[in-house]
Structures are given as C-alpha cells and as structure tokens.
Structure 1
Amino acid sequence: MTDTSDRLSRRHFVGATGAATLTGLAGCSGGGDGGDGSDGSDGSDGGDGGDGGDGSDGGAPLEVLHAWTGGDGARAAQALVTAFEEEYPDVEHEFNPIGGGGNQNLDAVIANRLQNNDPPGAFANWPGPNLQRYDGVLGEVDDVWESEGFADVMVDEAVDLHQYNGAYRAVPLGSHRLNCLFYNTSVVEDAGVDPDSLTSVSAFIDALETVQSETDAIPMTHGASGTWTTTQLFSSTMLGQEGYEAYMNFLDGSPDEAAVQATFESLAEILDNYINEDASSIGLTESNQNIIEGNAAFIHQGNWAAGAYRNAEDFSYNEDWGFKTYPGSEGMYMLHFDSFLYPSGNPTPDAADKFMQFVGSEAAQVAFNQYKGSIPTRTDVDMSQFGPYLQETQEDFASADERPPNLQHGLGVPSETMTALNDVISSEFSGPYNVEAATQGFVDAVSN
C-alpha cells in the first residue's frame, strides 16, 4: 500500500492477507461443494427474489471486500474510497483489501464468509460464468440498474454478463483488456527490436531471441508464483497464434487438440528459454517492476500493468514504456470486467444499495479506472479525463472486430473449469513443461 492509505484508516481501511482455509460454499448453495471450483448449481434462481436484507442496516458499517493491494491497484482502490466518501459522507464503511494475485485469496475469504452466513455488504469479483459459483447466495440489484438507468449507458457486454438466472446480481466498475504486450522502450531500442513489427507469435519469439543475444535484459518477465499468469498467457497466445475461431471453440467446449498443442509448444519455447530465473517465486507486481526498472524487455499482462506504470515516478507512456496488442491478436479486445457483487442476506442493504449505485456512476468509474489501467464500462464518460494510453484503449474497444471473453478471469468458462485448467498448469506446465500432458489436460477440462 502507498503512504496515502493512512488517511483511509479513519474509516477502518482494514488489511487482510493470506487465503482462508475452506471447503467451499457447502450449505450456502444447493449443489456441489464449490471448493473445487464447482458452481454448486441446483437450478434455483440464484437468490430469494430480493436483496435478502430487512430494509435497515441497524447501525452497522458497510463492509466492502476487494483484492486491490499492489502497485497496480492500491491507488485505484484509494481513489474509489475517496470518491465514495465525497458522494456519501454519512455512510460508515470498512473497505477491506485481501491481498493475492488473480483474486485467489479474495475468493477463498468470500467463500468462507458465505459458507458461514457472514456476507459482506458487497465484494469485488467477476461477472459472466463466474457468477455460477455463487448460485443461491447472490441477491438482486434490478432496482439499482433500473433507478440509475445502467442498461442504457453500459456497454452491451456489461448488460448481458451481469445478469444471472433472470436478474442483475452485480454492477460493473471498469473494463480491462487482456491480450496486451507491454515493453520497456529503452530495452527494445537497445536490442534493435521494433514492437510494431511483431504481428505473430513466431515473430515475437524471434524478438525474444534478439533481446537475449543483444542485451543483458530479461527478454520476457513473468511472475508465476500463482498458476493464473501462465493460464492467462496461454489464452493470449492461443488467440494470437491459432485465431479467434479456435479460441472460441476452446471456450465453448469443442477444442481443436492440434491448436491446443501448438499453443503449448510455443509457450514451452518462451518459458523454457526467455523468462526470468526467479519467475516461479515472484508474482505480478514484482514481475512488472522489471519493466519499470529496465531489467526486462516485455511482459504479457492485462492492462492493469499500465496502472502500475502510471503510478510509477518518471515513467511515461511512449517515452519509457509502450504497448502493443499481443502478437497475432490485432483487431481483437480480450474482454474482462472488474465488478462488485451483491450478496443475499445482506447485513447492510441500505448502504449496499447506495454503494452499488455509486459503482456504476461516472464519478466512481473515473476515479477508479484512471489509476487501475482500465476503461469505464459506461459509454457516456468523457475520456479526456484519462491519459493517452487509456484513450487509445477505449478507441480499440470501440473499433474491435471481436471482443472475445477472457479465459482466466471469469468470462470465458465456469470457475470449476478454471480450477481444472490451473491444476493442469500446476502439475504439468510449471517447469518442466510437458506439452503432451498439458494439452490432454486442457482438452479434457473444457470438453463438453
């Protein structure tokens, strides 16, 4: 956390780290145990037809859980809290950050809380198929969407993906793009590499070889202390190398085994030869620091990486760092949403409703996204308030030929499938890189 977090402590800006031990949502949902990624679905409507509260908060503070604790998110979270306080100065609150990449620790804490019938007022998470894991424990926020006119001002995908079992269960805060390749301009210039020329995965691999032979820098920095970064890299590599149709078929449960294997072959070449030696022991924040400090040429990440660049001193877009679409996926915007979900049995329904209204507002989306490296999901926000990189991102979103859903962060496959994929990465593709076993594992995980 940065030093500005001190001023948030007057309203209990409580930190929590480490994953909670849990077996899942057994007892909260009607089906499977949820702990292994199953959605626990029993065909119910996912709620009790309302917000689950009694219409009063009983003096309790609004509790909001999220995972934005590192250099790519802490400042954005602080800006969101400040804007909420300005909008609702009389609402007492506790914004509690749960550290850990890819929402892994946050997911564990949320599951434990819901299992024990101790929900927060709201929690950050992902919409789309990810909502299946919370079947039966989410309330409705249809009244919020209607009163605020969100369906008229949000991008189409946000309107569709925040509904589950016939009702809105969440409100979007911002949109990230995941098929991104960032680079340190000095390093690539020293290597004699032109990033704009990298329009295929094979050309990218050639560039990594050039960086390795011409400089002392890490060709591609990677933080793999958690499996999610490698699974995410798989998705961008598959989209760039095998194309939109093969990628969508994979998500839809009809994978082309040859395309999956070819993707893993390219990944094995990259991970075996061109990443940092400490990759297995560091996460996203530390890995991204290699770009900021000039120790590495390239990094693949969602555009939250750019949020860290904005928050770094003397590190300017197009001068010190640059961006290009992940090689081969030009014209596509791999879609991701940051959202807040609304639990049923809500302990503070009045304050939680106010917060959900706020999340979808222009004030919230400007405050958060300009520091998070993401763009608003509202279509009526003046982008002149954002820097040039995010303005370009918004233009890319608007003009994209395709907006495929991301694989790792909730939109592409249900959580149980995502857990199975990450298990394959952990067991078969974390060094040594077993292409055949990983291919079979991925094909089995997604196949209908």
Structure 2
Amino acid sequence: MAYVRVTDMGSPPGRRVTRRRFVETAGLGATTSLAGCVDQASELVPDSTRSLEVLHGWDEGDGAVAVRALVDAFEEQAPDVPTEFTAIEGGGNENLNTVVDYRLYDDDPPSAFANWPGKNLQRYEGSLGSVDDVWAENDFAAVHVEEAVDLHRQNGSFRAVPIGSHRLNNLFYSVAVLEEAGVDPAGITSLDALFDAMDAVAAETDAAPMTHAMAAPWPTTQLWVAVFLGQEGHEPYVDFIEGRRPEAAVRASFETTARILETYVTYDAASLDLPASNQNVVDGDAAFIHQGNWTAGAFANATDFEYGDDWGANAFPGTENRYTLHFDSFLYPGDNPTPEYSRRWLAFVGSETAQVAFNQHKGSIPTRTDVDVSEFHPYLQAVAEDFENAEYRPPTLQHGLALAPEKVTALNRIVANTFMGPYDVDAATAGFLDVV
C-alpha cells in the first residue's frame, strides 16, 4: 500500500502518465468528455498481475485519517488484494480531476477514483463502466438514501458507489471567542444576527470575526451559495441552478457576500488554504468559519479542541430547515485494469463497515440508512438527525451535484476574476447568470 503526495508538475495530456508518475496542476481543471464509451461491465478476469489502484484527494488532515481507517478496514477484510492508494494533493478535487483526466485520456485508468456523483458524472461521459451488478448483489438501492440512488446513475446504469455525505450549510465557531464577545450562538438564526455577532467580536476581542480560505476560488463560491440559501431561500436557489435567472436574488447574495469578505475576514485570507483557515478557529484567532462539515472532522482530530467546550456549529443562518447535500463517492472506470478487485472495493465502499470506518473520522455521515451512529462523534449524530428532519435537501453547487462540471468551472473562474478582492457585484452577477 502506498500513500503518495503528488508533486510532479507539467506533463501534457499527450504524454503517458504512469502508475508512479502523476501530474499536479494549480488550474481550475479541464472539463472534458472522454472518448471510449464503455457501457457494459468489463469481463471479469483474474487481477493477479495488477494492484487495486485507487486515486483520491484526501492528502492531509481529517481526510487522510479517514482514508487510512478505510484502507485498513478493507485490507483486513480482503488481505489477498494488493493495494495502491494514492493521494493527489489540492483542494476541491482540482488536481485529482486533472490527473484522472490525463490517465483516462492516455488509456491508463486507475482501478477506481474518489469523486462526486450527480451532474459531475458528465465530466466522465463515456469513460465509466456499469456497476449495476455491485448495486444489485449488495442490495444497495434498498439501504442507501434515496438521493444517493438517484445521483449515482448515468445513462440508466450505476457508475459509482457513495462512501458518505457532507452537509454544506454550516457555521462553525470558537466557544471562547464568542464568550469573550458576549455572543450567544443560539441566537444567530439570520444573517442580520450574524453581522451583529461579528461586530461584537470585532469590538470586544482581538480575534477576526470570520476566517475564510481564498487561496482558491471554490470556498467563496461555496460561501455565496450559503448566503443565497440563507438570505433568499430554497426556491430562488432552485430557480438559479435550473437556469431561470433570478437576477435580484443573485445580486443580493453577491452584495451580502461582498460585505462579509470586505469587512469581517482575516487580513491574510487571500493566502489561506482550508487547513490554515480551520486552524484560525482552533487557535482562537477567528470566531467563525463557514464550511462543509469536513471542518468538524478537522476540529475533532485537533489536539485539546473539544466539541461543546471549545467549538460548536449551527446551520448557516437562515438555513435551519435545510441540508445542503454533498456526496463523496468512488467511481468505476469502464476500461478497468482490475475489474474483479475494483468490484470488491466498491462493494466494500457501500458496506456498513466501510461507512463507519470512513465517516467517523471525515466529519461526514453514512449514506446507508441502517448504520447505527450512536458511537459517532456527537456533532455527527446531530448532523444525521438534521438530515432526517430536513424539509429540503438542495444539491450542492460547488461540489458537483447541481450543475455540470464545465459550469462549476466557469463559475469558479468568474469568482477568481471578479470576486477575490475587489468585489465586483455587477460582473459576478452577470457572469453567474450567463453561465447557468
């Protein structure tokens, strides 16, 4: 087994990308429809000459801990399967996407790779094989949540298996900073209340009101979605992702997001990646962070930083009855180098054992409905309850469920060009409406 952080730069798509030599790029990632349609399952043949090679993007922090637990559980269950699990560093799957694109383009697919389902599967149109047999043999459709069943199909066949679900509409906070500021987090149920709380933090403490990672554009796109849902509501968001151009709502959400970024975030936000931004809350240098609940995984794995005593979390203000839906999944390349091993891996991914091993460390919850979460972190137990009780489960925009990948790439490019400081509300609004 190998946990590899990839740092080799610059191989073009036309150059072979070998099993031990991958490519990392800092760009937003190519969005391609890759040739070589493989709708039927590859013939099952012994995989004796190849290892199960799985690519993923969890190279550090809670993700690395979760992958190690997942791999250890698989190797205990399948000791006869040689494995090679490779981490491609870079947030938001950007570098992972590029490496996978090059590998598929070069007819050198991995056995499986971590990615997102839903409309994100369009990125790999024609390059994914069917795993209908894995779903049927393991009765996955009966034991995974309804959205997981729907979003893992492409052209009528299952192409992937989910490992867990993240909630995107979260506001995490430092207990100590809010206590010093005299802020009760239970009262932050609107954006106006959030602004009042951040003003109190600025006036009463030395901490920044909010930390935000701006080294890449995707956290800002994600923050804009949270503001949109909290301020404008569910139906305007659905109108936006379905292309009905709710201009007033889009503009108002950019205005509010600009207010947050101009007034309340740390001075060094432009240079921060997500782990560094999370650390600002751990260190007491910032009161709030908006993120998916993978941040809870980072906090839970931090030293001397305890849930309830040191940190807490609410739904992002105004979204208390919603669970913004995100899935982490493993996809099956059609021209598969190890079809037997790969199917065994995907069958394991969808099992109770795997979903407990991974999600309890990752800050996510199982997609299986029959998993007992009573031994999970108390925060994740609360998230699981929120999932059950949510009135709406809108699909995430930034992470591939709501929009086709080329549209997500275009939105992030607009954010990079118009909304990373200074904040051009008019240009960002027009650009987002044009894209969708």
TM-score higher than 0.5: yes
Q: Which residue is 2:397 aligned to? A: 407
The separation in 2 between residues aligned to 1:20 and 1:136, in whole angstroms, is 26
Q: Please list the CA deviations of residues 388-416 of structure 1 after superposition, one character each: whole Å capped at 9, or x if unmatched.
A: 11111000000000000011000010001
Letter in 1 for 2:33: G
Q: Which residue is 1:298 aligned to? A: 288
Aligned-residue offset at 1:70: 2.1
Q: 1:166 to 1:47 in 2, by over 3 A?
A: farther
Do structure 1's residue 40 and structure 2's residue 40 form an aligned pair? Answer: no
Letter in 2 for 1:192: G
Q: Which residue is 2:233 aligned to? A: 243
Q: Please list the CA deviations of residues 170-195 of structure 1 after superposition, one character each: whole Å capped at 9, or x if unmatched.
A: 00000000000000100011111111
Q: Secondary structure at the match of 2:213?
A: coil
Q: Which residue is 1:225 aligned to? A: 215
Do structure 1's residue 347 and structure 2's residue 337 form an aligned pair? Answer: yes
Q: Which residue is 1:133 aligned to? A: 123
Q: Secondary structure at the match of 1:397?
A: helix
The separation in 2 between residues aligned to 1:72 and 1:214, in whole angstroms, is 32
Q: Secondary structure at the match of 1:385?
A: coil
Q: Which residue is 1:116 aligned to? A: 106
Q: Secondary structure at the match of 2:344?
A: helix
Q: Please list the CA deviations of residues 78-119 of structure 1 after superposition, one character each: whole Å capped at 9, or x if unmatched.
A: 101110111101100100000111111111111111111110
Do structure 1's residue 275 and structure 2's residue 275 form an aligned pair? Answer: no
Contiguous gaps of at least 5 residues in structure 2 = 15-27
Aligned-residue offset at 1:260: 0.5
Q: Please list the CA deviations of residues 101-146 of structure 1 after superposition, one character each: whole Å capped at 9, or x if unmatched.
A: 1111111111111111110000000000000010000001000000
Letter in 2 for 1:157: E
Q: Which residue is 2:24 aligned to? A: none
Q: Which residue is 1:319 aligned to? A: 309
Match of 2:381 among 383, 387, 391: 391
The separation in 2 between residues aligned to 1:400 and 1:18, in whole angstroms, is 44
The separation in 1 between residues aligned to 2:232 and 2:67, in whole angstroms, is 36
Letter in 2 for 1:40: S
Q: Which residue is 1:200 aligned to? A: 190
The separation in 2 between residues aligned to 1:122 and 1:75, in whole angstroms, is 19
The separation in 2 between residues aligned to 1:277 and 1:111, in whole angstroms, is 36
Question: Which range moved further: 414-423 or 69-78?
Answer: 69-78
Do structure 1's residue 425 and structure 2's residue 415 form an aligned pair? Answer: yes
Q: Which residue is 1:182 aligned to? A: 172
Question: Which range moved further: 56-65 or 158-167?
Answer: 56-65
Q: Secondary structure at the match of 1:383?
A: coil
Please say if residues 19 and 105 of structure 1, whose CA atoms lie closer than 8 Å, have aligned partners that are also in contact: no
Aligned-residue offset at 1:53: 4.9
TM-score of the two chains, using structure 1 as the length reference: 0.92
Aligned length: 424
Letter in 2 for 1:322: G
Q: Secondary structure at the match of 1:91?
A: coil
Please say if residues 13 and 96 of structure 1, whose CA atoms lie closer than 8 Å, have aligned partners that are also in contact: yes
RMSD: 1.7
Please say if residues 20 and 112 of structure 1, whose CA atoms lie closer than 8 Å, have aligned partners that are also in contact: no
Q: Which residue is 2:361 aligned to? A: 371
The separation in 2 between residues aligned to 1:96 and 1:73, in whole angstroms, is 13
The separation in 2 between residues aligned to 1:19 and 1:384, in whole angstroms, is 44
Alignment identity in percent?
56
Letter in 2 for 1:165: N
The separation in 1 between residues aligned to 2:224 and 2:7, in whole angstroms, is 28
Aligned-residue offset at 1:366: 0.2
